[in-house]
Structure 1
């Protein structure tokens, strides 16, 4: 039986990061993957879908500026776009394969092994791997579980990955459908509504059981996204409940019941079910181990499970399901096992991006979360129309919003950016949150000109009462107020 210092099960973002961090410690590592190197994060998740989003964004710009570019009536080739997306995925996979298969060249020979097969933890230190041609058992001092998640399915919906898809099966789509309904108005559902509506070939329906999409996000953020989706002919079914969905005559027929009791039937070509993901821990560990799990995933204490030498990272846990979080947890678990982490595992300063129209980036708390914690805070925002770079891009839709503590220190609680270049605007704030710093440091940073992030500096200066543009003059574009005891109070003198 071959022995390892650590066995990592799952070669997605979290597992791959864990394996490579273990190599740094000169430990003998086995990385096991049963399907595709890179996991869902590459093949059906972040890289795949964001490549679709980037291409769809360029397509929309061509449609939007058709008169200026002489591109009116342009038709986009689904097959060529799909091929480009697949090339992007393959580029990343080939890079990881090259790196992985040559890792032993620069370190002690035989330190790293990649094993393809279906792994099952049969003992506290034993893993059985069923490959195509053989079954082998290996031993590990430590085991890290990183098997990710899969799309949640609903028993009453006949998902066949031909007419009714999950995100994992959507790559089988062969052409732009003329119409599509998306079940679920969370991040993934809204991202695909954005992608398909950007190309302009698909009438998109979006089912939302509440009165607005993205219910976890602040209302001012959601209003921008809803307005843009509806401007692209997306039909948002608000306050609706899906009572039936079936495949009839090659079409998807679904019935909605509204909060007033009325019902309506719709027919579309395709459907996408996007109602969250479930962790892949079924049959992963022998029942005799009594690994503690719940409906959200494996229960862990800063990556360590109820079994002291077994760790869990990424989507398989009950923590935040993001690629960057999975990689962070994978690296942290190895550092905790073989060394001492330089800093604790915290989630408060994790940056997020929603690839919508426009994109939305955030770090720390939004107003909904701050209110849930009964916090008093100051909130400041500046419209993109006040930022020279946005004016130059001819796209002033969006805003920057920052929350700070309602005291003299004005420590940063969180930020949301809605608009072009949103993802590049949040990292400095994420760093300041992790350092427990206040708004003064932010206000004194010197940003390149012209850039979107100059708006961040102006927000900081606004809170300090020394902004270049005066909120009392531009009251529709600049906001500075406090929230306390359930009420807002304006900080701007008229």
Structure 2
């Protein structure tokens, strides 16, 4: 039987909550985690992990369809949509069981039910039968995450207008799909469905797709996606969706005010996430919420002593690895350690479309806006031996340096496996490595990662292979 008194209670078991709990247990704190759904939260069950499984299946199908490019003939390959969805769910299920094992190993109590923070450092947990139990702790971390944002003209009904959760478990492959929003979620699903034969249209309100990325990356992805047969409409707004008939009639308006209608089977709303800050007791405790986010200091303390918040409910980037790092910093501070506060300008962002996108730090435009004089180096994968051998010549590595001191201000990559390559940049930025030092860091050949060294060399007019 669980105790009702803990050193730490974490509300939410996503990549913020479960990581915080494990680190707390390692540091000797008696810890419990409250979870209303599946262990591992959205990331493990309905986000990062199962989407990557779907992307892999789509990629395998794409490889088979283009196998002749590699000197292999395959006849009669068929896409099993149900099998693809099942594999994705099995992968997610396995990961969630892994968290269960880690909790057991680290002697962390699971409190299953809906958690609400209360004054006096208490958490009320209501189980599925409506039974309420109150637990107390010296410290309470709120890690309740986020959910899909809804637009007024795009109300999710989970039949014809769906969010990312439903997009992962559709009953059958749609013939036509409209994806609204071209951030990471939008372009990843656009790739998956296009690769398996759905006619996909992306509608983006901003003037380019993946609008948070460097402009050259946006242009490259648009060109590649159009080549794959994906329709792209930028500077376009969805003004309404008629779901009365068999499918959907999506009314869109361009920047000149011209309206048109797109017909499809299903609309995916991928217009960002909002924080889960409602109905968790914040008002009762007096925890300050500003613009839909819980206000915290650099160690994730709220305005109320003993109450902390990490992950998507706070103002930092809504990314799994950010939530995990915040959780570790938060509990190390609670345990009396002296962790370094997070540098939010050195957080890698990864998008797992095909080709992948990875970036960190300033874009070229942001660096100039910040007053830097810049040196920019680019190396295309079309000049990479490994990329040619792998049949993955799309994309490039772009590095932005401060011309004065050689500091690496930002890196922007689009290409195969670049989400694995970005960590090198994060590490060398953390270590304050200069452009010249990077050029003299010998990279293995042939690899995709050589492009990092070559891009640095290009910035200083020392590039060899272009």
TM-score normalised to structure 1 length:
0.90
Whether 1:313 aligns to 2:315 is: no
Whether 1:370 aligns to 2:373 is: no
Q: Distance in 2 between matches of 1:221 and 1:467?
A: 21
Q: Distance in 2 between matches of 1:268 and 1:260?
A: 24
In the other structure, the counterpart of 1:489 is none
Q: Distance in 2 between matches of 1:44 and 1:305?
A: 28
Given the superposition, is the C-alpha separation of residues 196 and 341 from structure 1 closer, same or farther in structure 2, using an over 3 Å criterion?
Answer: farther
- Secondary structure of the residue aligned to 1:82 is helix
- Secondary structure of the residue aligned to 1:121 is strand
Q: Please, what is the CA RMSD of the aligned residues?
A: 1.7
In the other structure, the counterpart of 1:203 is 199
2:160·2:267 contact (CA, 8 Å) conserved in 1? Answer: yes
Please list every run of 5 or more consecutive structure 1 residues that lacks an aligned counterpart in the other structure: 105-111, 475-494
Q: Distance in 2 between matches of 1:343 and 1:118?
A: 33
- Secondary structure of the residue aligned to 1:177 is coil
- Secondary structure of the residue aligned to 1:319 is coil
Post-superposition offset of 1:286: 4.8
1:45-194 paired onto structure 2 within 5 Å: 45-66=47-68, 68-71=71-74, 74-104=77-107, 112-133=108-129, 134-194=131-191
Number of residue equivalences:
461
Deviation beyond 4 Å, 4+ runs, structure 1: none
In the other structure, the counterpart of 1:7 is 9
1:63·1:72 contact (CA, 8 Å) conserved in 2? Answer: no
Q: Distance in 2 between matches of 1:233 and 1:162?
A: 25
TM-score normalised to structure 2 length:
0.95
Q: Distance in 2 between matches of 1:285 and 1:158?
A: 26
1:265-284 paired onto structure 2 within 5 Å: 265-284=261-280
Whether 1:35 aligns to 2:32 is: no
Q: Distance in 1 between matches of 2:324 and 2:444?
A: 30
Moved more, 324-333 or 342-351: 342-351
Q: Distance in 2 between matches of 1:45 and 1:255?
A: 28
2:316·2:344 contact (CA, 8 Å) conserved in 1? Answer: no
Q: Distance in 2 between matches of 1:72 and 1:342?
A: 57
Given the superposition, is the C-alpha separation of residues 286 and 356 from structure 1 closer, same or farther in structure 2, using an over 3 Å criterion?
Answer: closer
Q: Distance in 2 between matches of 1:250 and 1:184?
A: 24
Q: Distance in 2 between matches of 1:240 and 1:400?
A: 29
Q: Distance in 2 between matches of 1:430 and 1:299?
A: 27
1:343-354 paired onto structure 2 within 5 Å: 343-354=340-351
Given the superposition, is the C-alpha separation of residues 316 and 33 from structure 1 closer, same or farther in structure 2, using an over 3 Å criterion?
Answer: same
Given the superposition, is the C-alpha separation of residues 73 and 369 from structure 1 closer, same or farther in structure 2, using an over 3 Å criterion?
Answer: farther
Q: Distance in 1 between matches of 2:461 and 2:149?
A: 49
Post-superposition offset of 1:190: 1.3
Moved more, 84-93 or 6-15: 84-93
In the other structure, the counterpart of 2:418 is 422
CA distances 1:272-325 after superposition (whole Å, capped 9, x unpaired): 011111100102125242211122411111211111211100111111000000
